[in-house]
Amino acid sequence: MAQARKKSIKADLVINRTFCKGCGVCIAFCPKEALFMDNYGKADKDMKKCTACGVCETFCPDFAISLVKRRLSKDAGDKTGPDARQ
């Protein structure tokens, strides 16, 4: 029997808590139910469930969610890290 392999996520889901107004649109559209409201009424994520599909980013009316692609770090060898934008 073939064993299912978990895909490596190539992006990080970033929620800008300043922009988030707690409307819940991202939570409603998340196909993996990886988003939830925290105790402060802001969107938060469960990275164990998140597949970085980008649906939440697409539907967020406040532009509070973004997917940041990862890239190979020159100093880390074969390890990956968040895209360093300056």
Q: How far apart are CA 55 and CA 50, in angstroms?
A: 11
Q: How far apart are CA 3 and CA 36, in angstroms?
A: 31
Structural domain spans, the chain = 15-72
Structural class in CATH, domain 15-72 = alpha beta
Closest CA to 44 of 68, 11, 14, 70: 14
Residue ranges of alpha helices (H) inside the chain are: 25-29, 55-59
Q: pLDDT per residue over 39-78, tens digit each? A: 999 999 998 999 999 999 999 999 999 999 887 655 555 4
Residues in contact with 10: Cβ distance below 8 Å, sequence separation at least 6, in sequence order: 52, 69, 70, 80
pTM higher than the cut 0.85: no
